Structure 1
Amino acid sequence: MNLASDVVNARLYPAGMLTSLSRSEVERLHDASHGDLYELLRRCSLAVLNSGNESDDAEALLAEFRDFDITVEQFNRGIRLELCNAPGIAFVDGKIIEGVRELLSAVIRDLVYYDTEIGSNPSYTMDTGEQITNAVFEILRNANIIQPRVEPHLVVCWGGHSISRAEYEYTKLVGYELGLRKLNVCTGCGPGAMKGPMKGATIGHSKQRVKNGRYIGVTEPGIIAAESPNPIVNELVILPDIEKRLEAFVRLGHGIVVFPGGAGTAEEILYLLGILLHPKNADLPFPVVFTGPAGSAAYFEQIDKFIRLTLGDQAAARYQIIIDDPVAVAQTMQAGLAEVGEFRSEVKDAWYYNWRLQIDEDFQRPFEPTHAAMAGLELHRDLPVHELAANLRRAFSGIVAGNVKPNTLAAIRAGGKFEISGEKAIMDKLDGLLSEFVAQHRMKLPGVAYEPCYRVVSGE
């Protein structure tokens, strides 16, 4: 972590689409950044200015730079950013690092766009799943993440920010093999298993003389401070909440690789499988591989057992487990993406956004992890499988929030640990899985004492 004295005051101009704005757009940006949006803009900007610092303590970051301030000012029909007491890690010889300037511009672009064009737009009432899906598309398109007329090429990589060195090195090897096959990488943008595949892919792309390699980071305001964008991210997009972030992953990505992780990775797995189990998605090709080094075999065995107990063998049939073989992972993805391209061409669906994927509103509606909401989750196998998957996803989402989100951390300090209850067989497996995450330091970075924010209550 930077010393509190290592701060910089700077005046700079944004990058990307923010360099060419109408007078009306400039006024909206200025007004939004000085109103209710200011605190959100300040927190997200601080997170990207902290790029490269791999601490996952959002509260400590906010406290250390409590005097940080950002102002969006009108200037010659454009905008200029005034930074006060910004983290010194974002600067070299007093000048902001170019990649950080781009990420900072993305923060302003996405937060203000959603606030002014979608959140307050009566056309986007978010009353239906279709409207939510359209909103996600609009945010991605505005961020220039959508690329038409390009064959399926994007592999989403999920995994924890707190992983072992051996697991991290393995993620780089997989990324390298993906890059050699000219595939691009999309992750949650943070450190660990989010950084490794991107780092490996840069070498593979360099060998293949790929000059426009894409390293897309997809995040949301509540988690970005705990998982600051890693320095390799060259396209950043901020969705308004976890649910829209997850939908962006599965509609953008043509295949998904899952590395070892903690509660957040379990949340992503359950979200994906809950969707793929929908009958309308039964014939939809979507390659999914769980992978890690030899030492992670037991981790995936435990994940596999939990999935089979809760969601059944039909869920396990939607993924492959490949241990300690980066080449096989990349070849499986390459073959799967070719199948995705053929399928979408046949059904006349877009290559760049998976419109055909059916996502129930249970997976789209934001879940606020309060004590009452967590205690009220129904977790038993009498539920339809997609409902159980949705509720399990919410349980893990609440744990993630309790681990890293300042507002949820404050609520837990005030009201005690979340309680999670349900069918005894599920609770026993859940408790065992979470205990292993804690023992393997998958909840917080090594060296940081972890106090669980939850208590698993075994039912009948």
Structure 2
Amino acid sequence: MTAPTINALVSPEGSLEILSNHEVNLLKDKSEGGLYQLFRQCALAVLNTGAVTDDCQDLMQTYADFDIRLIPQPRGLKLELINAPAHAFVDDEMLLAIREHLFSVLRDIVYTHSTPKFAGILKGNGPEDLTNMVFHILRNARALKTGRQPDLVVCWGGHSISHEEYQYSKEVGHQLGLRELSICTGCGPGAMKGPMKGATIGHAKQRVKNGRYIGITEPGIIGAEAPNPIVNELIIMPDIEKRLEAFVRCGHGVIVFPGGVGTAEEILYLLGILLHPDNADLPFPVVFTGRKENAEYFEMIDKFIRTALGDEAAKKYEIIIDDPVLVAQTMKKGLKDVETFRRAMQDAYYFNWMLKIDPVFQMPFEPDHENMLALELHRDQPVHLIAANLRKAFSGIVAGNVKDGGIRKVQEKGPFEITGDPSLIKPLEAMLEQFVANNRMKLPGSSAYRPSYRIISTAA
């Protein structure tokens, strides 16, 4: 069945209205060094805002005839869309939110890839350079707001969750909104959409007119997790590592809902950073929460963390079951501690400069068969490095599940192989089996999950 499409000319909205000739040529360039394919992929994803899919390849195949062209104008530029998804339009007019997202894509891709000072950083550079790059991208997107107290709560959780879990995440968002807190998520469906939707109602009740619903994504994931319709600030970071750093630099606290391997990756990234000695006294509230039916899920997560990283890691978060009000109250109190600390240290409210991030968490990890098999999953290393390598393992599985490049690698050479110390591998395997059994790897109703990984057990 062919999906309905439409052709249209679209004017800029919100982010970027003029381009240099150099930038235009990069966006038109279909060669390996050009930006056309990247721009087309991300543009198609945002045109599917609100669509329920986690299959990047299926999206690309459904709209294989989609094309996007830059049309120079005397007063700026327009985008010509050919065979664009019809559900992005109402009465032949593009939805305003999608138009904003489309030009956010253009803004972030152009800024990251055409700015000379970023050329070397994208290939790998020092930790300060990488953090500065994250800062500059966020600032260019106007995501760093001065004059606001700490109020941005990052919400992580699965895109593949039950209706009941979605409703719970929405109620937590509602309680956060009643306390005039804003939401930042990975911008997709499920536990990324629920808190935003709930917060809109809470903000409406409190007459909050400047509520923020920030979605932070990256090119490899956006096709599988298209922005949900509530996102009013979309930011596309160059890769998953900079996406994760953006969350913890601009967010003031984190709430984690039930999820799968992507959520596990985020948890390990966060705990690995918070376990660094330089961050010992830095307040950063973290709450794991879900319905009473999710108590067993968080017991599993807690057990895995204690087994892999030790009891000290478990002190970095609080588990609250089936109590949205308490979650919001706990986060509100935690953000007040953040405000007090940053005021005393004369640190910015809008960007967490004092947070120490080891370079191992910043350098891009390329998930391929060689790198996945070479992961150092053993005990003979500092605990934050154990967290870093486990994070990479989950990142590779995410890539094999939903990212176009990772899916192709698995199709060509079979599942990624993971091996290491049995004291780490066995708990990892058990948790992955639970994710599969509980349908946390794919969206409900999608085709049966085929593992993108294979655990290779070794003798103790």
1:211 to 202, 209, 212: 209
C-alpha separation in 1, matches of 2:327 and 2:23 = 44
Aligned to 1:30: 24
Aligned to 2:240: 242
Aligned to 1:202: 200
Counterpart check, 1:53 vs 2:47: no
Deviation at 1:456, TM superposition (A): 1.0
Which stretches of structure 1, 4 residues or longer, exceed 6 Å deviation after superposition?
A: none
Mapped contact 1:125–1:131 kept (Cα < 8 A): no
Unaligned runs of 5+ residues in structure 1 are none
Deviation at 1:29, TM superposition (A): 3.5
Aligned to 1:380: 378
C-alpha separation in 1, matches of 2:381 and 2:314 = 18
C-alpha separation in 1, matches of 2:200 and 2:422 = 46
C-alpha separation in 2, matches of 1:231 and 1:184 = 16
How high is the TM-score relative to the length of structure 1? Answer: 0.97
Deviation at 1:26, TM superposition (A): 3.8
C-alpha separation in 2, matches of 1:126 and 1:441 = 36
CA RMSD of aligned residues (A): 1.2
Percent identical = 59
Aligned to 1:151: 149
Aligned to 2:455: 456
Aligned to 2:433: 435
C-alpha separation in 2, matches of 1:119 and 1:159 = 34
CA 1:336–1:5 in structure 2 vs 1: closer, same or farther (change >3 Å)?
closer
Unaligned runs of 5+ residues in structure 2 are none
Aligned to 1:315: 313
Mapped contact 2:124–2:363 kept (Cα < 8 A): no
C-alpha separation in 2, matches of 1:196 and 1:350 = 29
Deviation at 1:122, TM superposition (A): 5.8
Deviation at 1:381, TM superposition (A): 1.9
Deviation at 1:136, TM superposition (A): 0.3
Deviation at 1:4, TM superposition (A): 2.5
C-alpha separation in 2, matches of 1:271 and 1:357 = 13
Aligned to 2:98: 100
Mapped contact 1:44–1:221 kept (Cα < 8 A): yes
Secondary structure at 1:79's aligned position in 2?
strand
Aligned to 1:344: 342
Report Cα offsets for 1:50-105 as digits up to 9, x if no partner: 01111111111000101100011210141110000000110011110010000001
Query: Which deviates more, 5-14 or 179-188?
Result: 5-14
Report Cα offsets for 1:343-364 as digits up to 9, x if no partner: 0010111000000000011000
Q: Which amino acid is 2:198 matched to?
A: G
Mapped contact 1:26–1:79 kept (Cα < 8 A): no
Q: Which amino acid is 1:203 matched to?
A: I
Q: Which amino acid is 2:200 matched to?
A: T
Query: Which deviates more, 174-183 or 146-155?
Result: 146-155
Secondary structure at 1:251's aligned position in 2?
helix
Q: Which amino acid is 1:132 matched to?
A: L
Aligned to 1:11: 9
Secondary structure at 2:302's aligned position in 1?
helix
Counterpart check, 1:110 vs 2:104: no
Mapped contact 1:156–1:186 kept (Cα < 8 A): yes
Q: Which amino acid is 1:247 matched to?
A: E
1:415 to 391, 413, 416: 413
1:225 to 219, 223, 226: 223
Aligned to 1:266: 264
C-alpha separation in 1, matches of 2:370 and 2:22 = 38
CA 1:54–1:123 in structure 2 vs 1: closer, same or farther (change >3 Å)?
closer
CA 1:218–1:10 in structure 2 vs 1: closer, same or farther (change >3 Å)?
same
Mapped contact 1:146–1:352 kept (Cα < 8 A): yes
Mapped contact 1:278–1:358 kept (Cα < 8 A): yes
Aligned to 1:405: 403
